[in-house]
């Protein structure tokens, strides 16, 4: 299993990515703004059932990829890093908009839950994290890869539920301001862009030891 230092670094990187709003966070926020705190929290549960799918896919697919081809892993890694950098550049170059966000139609709890599940299963941000970033924290010398990925995935889900839950509570409490503040949205874009660029650099330039051991 990964050592405590690796787990701490992974937790820090996970929090950095989770705090950058992507499709899942936007879904949670819009539900919280339009239907209140309970709707946001139900959406969080659906989102992270979707995370379980990503964890299982990573444990099966990445472990096989690492075991068979360092070149294939490198391709996936650099494509993921390039995608993160592209997201960062797009955020930094985004122009502020005064258009208010469109609220989704009211939905039942079960519908919100399953919509959240689908949103995260199809979330490219989560997929890229598990395919290109998470493997940097595994180590063949510390045992099989699949159990390590499962452990890291559990950490992702726990931290994700905590951070997304905080987004839901904050959004429901600040619903009116979130609808109106173009300046706040621009600051969020700039912060998000810098975080994406940093994570892209980490994904591209770390983890060489993991590939060398395949």
How many structural domains are present in the chain? 1
Q: Which residues have a Cβ under 8 Å from the Cβ of 186 and sit 6 or more positions away?
A: 94, 96
Cα within 13 Å of Cα(17), Cβ side: 27
Q: How confident is the model at residue 208 (pLDDT cuts 50, 70, 90)?
A: very low
Rounded distance, CA 43 to CA 55, Å? 19
Q: What percent of the chain has pLDDT over 70?
A: 64
Q: Give residue-wise pLDDT tens across range 23-78.
A: 788 778 877 877 888 998 999 999 999 999 888 888 887 656 655 566 666 666 67
Per-residue pLDDT, 106:
66
Strands (E), the chain: none
Neighbours of 130 (CB within 10 A): 24
Per-residue pLDDT, 66:
53
Q: Residue 212 pLDDT > 50, yes or no?
A: no
- What residue numbers bound the domain in which 119 lies? 4-212
Per-residue pLDDT, 87:
66
Which range of 61-70, 162-171, 193-202 scores highest in mean pLDDT? It is 162-171
Cα within 13 Å of Cα(214), Cβ side: 21
- Residue 10 · residue 129 · CB < 8 Å: no
Per-residue pLDDT, 122:
75
Per-residue pLDDT, 165:
94
Per-residue pLDDT, 155:
94
Per-residue pLDDT, 99:
41
Per-residue pLDDT, 162:
95
- Considering only CA atoms, give the Rg of the chain: 18
Q: How far is CA 188 from CA 10, 156, 182, in A?
A: 23, 22, 10
- Residue 161 · residue 29 · CB < 8 Å: no
Q: Residue 97 pLDDT > 90, yes or no?
A: no
- Residue 96 · residue 182 · CB < 8 Å: yes
Block residue for tokens 């924290």: 137
- Residue 78 · residue 200 · CB < 8 Å: no
Mean pLDDT (the chain, rounded): 75
Per-residue pLDDT, 45:
96
Phi, psi (5° rounding) for residue 204?
-80, -35
Q: Which residues have a Cβ under 8 Å from the Cβ of 141 and sit 6 or more positions away?
A: 213
Q: Which residues have a Cβ under 8 Å from the Cβ of 123 and sit 6 or more positions away?
A: 22, 23, 24, 50
Q: Give residue-wise pLDDT tens across range 110-144.
A: 988 998 898 788 777 787 778 777 777 887 777 78
pTM (predicted TM-score): 0.67
């Amino acid at each position: 299993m990964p050592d405590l230092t690796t787990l701490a670094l992974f937790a820090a990187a996970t929090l950095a990515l989770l705090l950058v709003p992507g499709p899942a966070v936007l879904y949670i926020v819009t539900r919280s703004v339009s239907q209140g705190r309970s709707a946001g929290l139900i959406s969080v549960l659906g989102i992270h059932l979707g995370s379980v799918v990503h964890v299982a896919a990573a444990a099966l697919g990445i472990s096989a990829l690492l075991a068979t081809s360092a070149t294939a892993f490198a391709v996936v890694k650099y494509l993921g890093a390039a995608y993160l950098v592209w997201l960062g550049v797009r955020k930094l170059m985004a122009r502020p908009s005064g258009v208010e966000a469109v609220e989704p139609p009211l939905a039942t709890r079960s519908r919100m839950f399953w919509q959240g599940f689908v949103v995260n299963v199809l979330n490219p941000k989560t997929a890229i994290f598990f395919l290109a970033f998470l493997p940097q924290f595994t180590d063949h010398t510390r045992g099989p890869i699949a159990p390590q990925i499962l452990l890291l995935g559990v950490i992702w889900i726990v931290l994700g539920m905590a951070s997304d839950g905080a987004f839901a509570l904050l959004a429901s409490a600040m619903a009116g301001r979130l609808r109106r503040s173009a300046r706040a949205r621009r600051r969020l874009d700039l912060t998000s862009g810098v975080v994406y660029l940093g994570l892209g650099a980490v994904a591209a330039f770390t983890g060489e030891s993991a590939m060398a051991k395949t």
